[in-house]
Amino acid sequence: MIAGRACSTQYRGSSIVVIETKGEHLKNDDSNRKIRLGRAWANMSGNGYRYYMVFEDGVTPPDGAVTLSELVRILEKL
């Protein structure tokens, strides 16, 4: 189970990535609000900024969030 945490890092020298991890027990209306807020932050910050809400594999994430496996694939392309 993934506990709810947030971290940020400079990824491969070009992007600042904020990752907020969630377990299924934290999937609720507040998650949807945080996804919108995180996306707004990334859009306002510029091209080098990314925000991802990440749920463990096997959990259907809400719209705008990804699973851990999906995040790995996204980061490989950055």
Q: What is the pLDDT of residues 64-77, one digit of tens each?
A: 999 999 999 998 88
Tokens of residue 10, six digits: 């400079």
Closest by CA position to 50, among listed 22, 77, 23: 77
Closest by CA position to 25, among listed 52, 63, 56: 56
**pLDDT in the model for residue 12:** 61
The CA distance from 52 to 36, in Å, is 11
The CA distance from 37 to 60, in Å, is 20
Q: How far is CA 38 from the centre of its chain?
A: 8
Tokens of residue 11, six digits: 């990824």
Q: What is the pLDDT of residues 5-18, one digit of tens each?
A: 556 566 666 788 89
Q: What is the pLDDT of residues 47-70, one digit of tens each?
A: 889 999 999 999 999 999 999 999
